[in-house]
Amino acid sequence: MLTDPRKIDQVAEQSQQIEEDIFLSHIGEFYDQKMSIAMDLYDAAAEHTNNFRDIEKEDIREDPRIVRILRYLVKPKISQMKFGQFAGVNSTNNYEEYTLAEASTPNHQIAQDLADFTAANLDPEKVPWLSDPTIDEEEEIEYSRRWICDKIAEQEATTHYRNWRKDKQEQTVAETLDDAGYTDSGYSGKISSTNDIPVGTYAEESKVAGADVQKADFIVRPTEDTVIFIEAKAIGVRVDSHKRVKEIRNKASDWKNEFEGAETVAVIEGWTTGDKVRTMMDDDIAVYWEHRLEEDFHEDLAEKLNQSQQKVQNQS
């Protein structure tokens, strides 16, 4: 673990650039993927509804995925939960899966309510050919198609990137643990005792007992007397840094009070500063950067496990 203040500041700046590079190298690809899917759905919705002139429950039941397009055609665009609420369900999420096989089919009444709400609240600027028969319908449909699908792709690409980035970081942590000699315990319940997972193993994303029952991204048991809680944070936006660091510090305090021998590790990447890193260190939180895990964290993890194994051998 780095302790030199100048080195910490330097690595923090490097980490910011690394996070930007990761974002820029993937967000465009995700946008293109979501745009292609959205345009296919728009075409299907337009075909089913005669270019949105006749929005019927049968259209929605035949291909529930078009609900995604209908949400964006109303004024203003409406959320899945709000749209579902108007039809008596919690959300339209289940109807909007990417494949027809995965999408749930709403019953007749729900489909009718969704169709009626859409027809009554269409944004005339998004479907101008419905009110002005003199305009070039084909041209306006293509304009609407690109406008609507761009909005969908922007939002969904951002969500996809955020989930992908979290998974990527956690995969890197898991690989580091594996390489250091630990094995996945497969434990998925609430961590109430150090003994919930065996020495030399780890558990992924589990709730942890404490004043506030919160999730840890990883729980590691290097020795009989030690448990390590790992929080992984990829911070893509500078203004989120304070919030993410505060979350880590609050969790660390809670776990330290609940578990004897508890240690908290923060695996970070992105937009934080050397000062914030030192603030965590002052709270006895060990801080490692994702891009330096093999260099810094691997050795520390392996050493703890080796010491534990050596102790067992000596006792036997």
Answer yes or no: do 51 and 186 share one domain. Answer: no
- Considering the domain architecture, whether residues 310 and 201 belong to the same structural domain is answered as yes
Ramachandran region, residue 200 (left: φ > 0; alpha: ψ -120 to 50; beta: rest): left
Is the pLDDT assigned to residue 316 strictly greater than 60? no
Q: What local confidence, expressed as pLDDT, does residue 300 receive?
A: 85
pLDDT in tens, 94-126: 999 989 999 999 999 999 999 999 999 999 999
Query: What does DSSP assign to residue 121?
Result: S
Looking at the domain assignment, is residue 18 inside a domain?
no
Amino acid present at 134: T
In a domain, 14, yes or no: no
Q: Which of 109, 127, 159 is the C-terminal boundary of a domain?
A: 159
Mean pLDDT of 152-167: 98
| Same domain? 198 vs 101 | no
Q: Are 110 and 61 in contact (CB under 8 A)?
A: no
Q: Would residue 211 count as lying in a domain?
A: yes
**pLDDT at 315 (0 to 100):** 63
Average pLDDT, the chain: 94
pLDDT, residue 313, reads 64
pTM of this prediction? 0.90
- Is 204 in the same domain as 150? no
Total structural domains in the chain? Answer: 2
Residue 16, domain member (yes or no): no
Final residue before a domain boundary, out of 98, 129, 159:
159
Q: What is the dihedral of CA 125, 150, 96, 36, to 10 degrees?
A: 130
pLDDT single digits (tens) 205-228: 999 998 889 999 999 999 998 999
Are residues 171 and 301 both part of a single domain?
A: yes
Q: What percent of the chain has pLDDT over 70?
A: 97
Whether residue 154 is found in the same domain as residue 172: no
- Tell me, what's the pLDDT at 306? 78
Residues 152 and 32 reside in one and the same domain: yes
**Domain end (from 124, 139, 159):** 159
Residues in the chain: 316
**Which tokens is 229 given?**
């809680």
The C-alpha atoms of residue 62 and residue 52 are separated, in whole angstroms, by 15
Q: Are residues 186 and 306 in the same domain?
A: yes
pLDDT for 5? 77
- Domain range for 309: 5-9+166-315
pLDDT at 174 over 90: yes
Query: Taking residues 242-269, what's their average pLDDT?
Result: 96
